[in-house]
Structure 1
Amino acid sequence: MSEKPAILYVDDEEANLLLFRISFEGDREVLVANTPEEGLEKLKQNQERIRAVISDMHMPRMNGVQFIKKAQETVSNIPYFILSGYAFNDEIDEAMQEKIIRNFFTKPFNRSEIEEQLKAASGF
Structure 2
Amino acid sequence: MNNSIGILYVDDEPINLQLFKINLGNKYNVFTANSGSNALEVLAEFKKQINVIVSDFRMARMSGIELINTAKLKYPSIYCYMLTGFDNNKEIDEAIDKGTLKKCFRKPFNMVEIEYEMKAIGGSM
Q: Which residue of 1 aligns with 2:118?
A: 118
Which runs of 5 or more structure 2 residues have no equivalent in the other structure?
Answer: none
Structure 1 CA distance for aligned equivalents of residues 23 and 71 of structure 2: 24
- Per the alignment, in what secondary structure is the counterpart of residue 51 of structure 2? strand
Percent sequence identity is: 39
Are residues 122 and 66 of structure 1, via their aligned partners in 2, closer, same or farther at CA, if it must alter by over 3 Å?
A: farther
Supply the RMSD in Å over aligned alpha carbons: 1.5
Structure 1 CA distance for aligned equivalents of residues 81 and 122 of structure 2: 12
Q: Which residue of 1 aligns with 2:20?
A: 20
CA contact (8 A) 1:44 1:74 kept: no
Q: Which residue of 2 aligns with 1:6?
A: 6
TM-score by length of 1: 0.92
Give 1:104 deviation, angstroms: 0.3
Are residues 16 and 28 of structure 1, via their aligned partners in 2, closer, same or farther at CA, if it must alter by over 3 Å?
A: same
Q: Which residue of 1 aligns with 2:52?
A: 52
TM-score by length of 2: 0.92
Q: Which residue of 2 aligns with 1:93?
A: 93
- Per the alignment, in what secondary structure is the counterpart of residue 87 of structure 2? coil
Which runs of 5 or more structure 1 residues have no equivalent in the other structure?
Answer: none
May I ask how many residue pairs the two structures share in their alignment?
Answer: 122
Q: Which residue of 2 aligns with 1:39?
A: 39
